[in-house]
Chains A and B, each alone.
Chain A
């Protein structure tokens, strides 16, 4: 079974770039989605299909996926970006099931 590995925490100063990784063998072959989760709020899709953005999500949010690592990049980080971020994909190798990464807490210094 798949285990998506994310760093527990990432810290960045306002205006800088945050990069959150999601690792798994050959994840580059999967379609990875990213979610933002703030306390007391529902998760929000911020990047889908590795690198596409839903309408309403700032262009500062981008994604990439190659080899064994998918990456969510947040440029010009703002205080409001402070949240937990989760990567996710669907494992179709046996019974269809979703796999979430363990989550990364983004702290804006």
Chain B
């Protein structure tokens, strides 16, 4: 069964750091680009980062560039998101997603919740 499971979400103070993980099963992440997408409370979906198959090429939304880092461990079939200098505006449910052909996000995890509050 093709599946993504996120973990690592937590309550963190402004300025703090957090590392999210996304474990894949039923397929190899090495064969796919992967993305992180978030949804803040009452807001729409916001793409925040992608990684190519090897992790060599990455990019970020302007709202997180310089603060978040995407990485992957293909041997462990996992994707990660290191978040630092967290702000209240980063409060959201974070989803990892698999990219299929022509960039469609065809498999999504159930999400992990990050709350940034003092």
Do they bind each other? yes
* Known A-B contacts A48-B100, A95-B59; A100 and B106 likewise in contact (beta carbons under 8 Å): no
For B37, what are the chain A residues with a Cβ–Cβ distance below 8 Å?
43, 98, 100
Using C-beta atoms within 8 Å of the partner chain, give the interface range for chain B: 20 to 34
Which of A9-17, A66-74, A84-92 is the interface stretch? A84-92
Q: How far is the CA of A89 from the CA of B39 in the complex (A)?
A: 17
Chain B proximity of A34: nearest CB distance (Å):
9
Chain A proximity of B63: nearest CB distance (Å):
11
Q: How far is the CA of A103 from the CA of B106 in the complex (A)?
A: 18
Please name the residue on chain B nearest to A32 by beta carbon: B104
For A86, what are the chain B residues with a Cβ–Cβ distance below 8 Å?
44-45
Q: Main secondary structure on chain B at its contact with chain A?
A: strand
Q: Most chain-A CB neighbours within 10 Å: which of B47, B103, B106?
A: B103
Q: Most chain-B CB neighbours within 10 Å: which of A54, A96, A99, A103?
A: A96
B interface residues with partner A (beta carbon < 8 Å)? 35, 37, 39, 44-47, 50, 57, 59-61, 95, 97, 100, 102-106, 108-111
Query: 21 A-B contacts, Cβ less than 8 Å apart?
Result: A31-B102, A41-B110, A42-B110, A42-B111, A43-B37, A43-B105, A45-B105, A49-B102, A88-B105, A90-B103, A96-B57, A97-B47, A97-B59, A97-B60, A98-B37, A98-B47, A98-B103, A100-B37, A100-B46, A102-B44, A103-B44
Beyond A84-B44, A99-B47: 15 further Cβ-contacts under 8 Å?
Answer: A31-B102, A33-B103, A42-B109, A43-B95, A43-B97, A43-B108, A45-B105, A45-B106, A88-B47, A89-B103, A95-B59, A98-B35, A98-B47, A98-B103, A103-B44
9 smallest CB-CB distances across A and B, nearest first, come from: A98-B47, A48-B104, A103-B44, A42-B108, A90-B103, A33-B104, A95-B59, A100-B45, A31-B102
